[in-house]
Structure 1
Amino acid sequence: MHLIVPILVSVLLPKAYSLKCFECTPGEPGACTTKQTDCPAQCGSSRIISYTGDTKVVDINAKSCAVSAGCLSTSVNFGISRTTIAIECCNTNLCNAQSVPESTKGLPNGKTCFTCIGTDCRSTLSCLGDEDRCISTTVNIGGEKISMKGCASKSICIGDVSQALGSTMGVEMKCCEGNLCNNAQSIGLSLLILVTSMVSVTLFY
């Protein structure tokens, strides 16, 4: 019996990681289809885009192994800045060769949340597309807490995205349902810090 266990492990473990996927991370030189890695179940391609107004200021592509719960399309909208995160998954060898296409800007959906202009967070924001939650966020940078408010998709408020942002970058996020549920108040504001935090979070292994 003691001999059977290591034999089974040696046979089964390679099969558990038999899927080949393309891999690249932001900032790596070369194309996203030149490096390969072994994955347990799924391949993934991700794209994170940030806009200031209608101008694209960040556009990052990545590929690697994918976590099942992390296959999603979501956005967070703070009025003058909006970030979309799209992760597509597949389960055949080298199936993540294609980059994720840029998502279209959604139409106003009737949801309204508080947002910030400068340090005043009493202005209102019309949510777009699938942004069905109001969000309040706090980023802890060097011991200083900087807060922001706006609209968000449900998928950014729960599960892997929320947990990854919280544990990796020290981001506190509170989401709520219902118009203007994220409370108006005057707070400090730093859009770039939260966008950078989101871009830095990796939902892949």
Structure 2
Amino acid sequence: MHLLTLIFGIVLLTKAHTLKCNQCDIGNPGSCAVKECPLAGQRCSALRLTSYAGGSKIMDVTTKSCVMAEECVEASVNFGISQTVIKNECCNSDFCNDKLSPVPSKTGPNGKKCFQCNGQDCTATLNCEGTQDHCLSGKVNTGSGTVTLKGCVSKLLCSPGNQDLTRTMGTDMSCCQGDYCNSASIKSAGILLLVAPLFSLVVLS
């Protein structure tokens, strides 16, 4: 009897800590519905992914959902010719994600420097911005061939533990720490494939 009471207590306690959040289809704010988060400890989130090329916005995708606390982040990847910013704002009460995440504010150089590619020449200097504290190097399959990319990236996007944060197309992406450390191919494996907005459509889960 005591065991049965304990089991019911655990089930009811878990239920009491499960949030109800607005959940929307990616890129379709009008599709929102209130749903109960499947896991205790999840938060309500409002996520925005914004990509720029040549100073112009080329993609602005929003969604709302339930996420784990570690997914409540702001991070970016910068190839010089293009940049993508991920902003996932979270809150911890029922229906609190009723507003869209705002467009990320403009950030300036942070002192970190990496190489970037201009065509086949990958010796140009790129000044990293905001949270971009690592360099990256790799190749992306565009469908018509393979393109070498180098640039700046936030450490968060280099973590294998955050692979569920993005679904991307690409190959052999790796990160490193230190100015201009992406001068040659990097041997590390298992690094998160990063966003390449000019060559692939990025969709967050």
Correspondence 1:180 to 2:180 = yes
Mapped contact 1:22–1:97 kept (Cα < 8 A)? yes
| 1:80 matched residue in structure 2 | 81
Shift of 1:69: 0.9
Quick one: which amino acid aligns to residue 72 of structure 2?
A: C
Mapped contact 2:117–2:148 kept (Cα < 8 A)? no
> Greater RCO between the two (CA within 8 Å, min separation 6)?
1
| 1:47 matched residue in structure 2 | 48
For residues 109 and 10 of structure 1, the distance between their equivalents in structure 2, rounded to whole angstroms, comes to 48
Q: Percent identity?
A: 43
Correspondence 1:200 to 2:203 = yes
More helix by share: 1
Shift of 1:106: 1.4
Shift of 1:44: 0.7
Shift of 1:52: 0.6
TM-score by length of 1: 0.78
Matches within 5 A, 1:66-145: 66-140=67-141, 145=146
Matches within 5 A, 1:21-36: 21-28=21-28, 31=30, 34-36=32-34
Q: Choose which of 8, 21, 37 in structure 1 pairs with 2:35.
A: 37
| 1:4 matched residue in structure 2 | 4
Q: Deviations over 1:15-63 (max 9, x none)?
A: 16741100112243x526x411111331111000000121011001100
- Structure 2 gaps, min length 5: 186-195
Please say which of residues 152-161 and 84-93 is displaced more in the overlay.
152-161
For residues 45 and 67 of structure 1, the distance between their equivalents in structure 2, rounded to whole angstroms, comes to 13
**Residues 164 and 148 of structure 1, relative CA distance in 2, 3 Å threshold:** farther
- Structure 1 gaps, min length 5: none
Shift of 1:7: 6.4
Mapped contact 1:45–1:99 kept (Cα < 8 A)? yes
For the aligned residue pairs, the C-alpha RMSD in angstroms reads 3.2
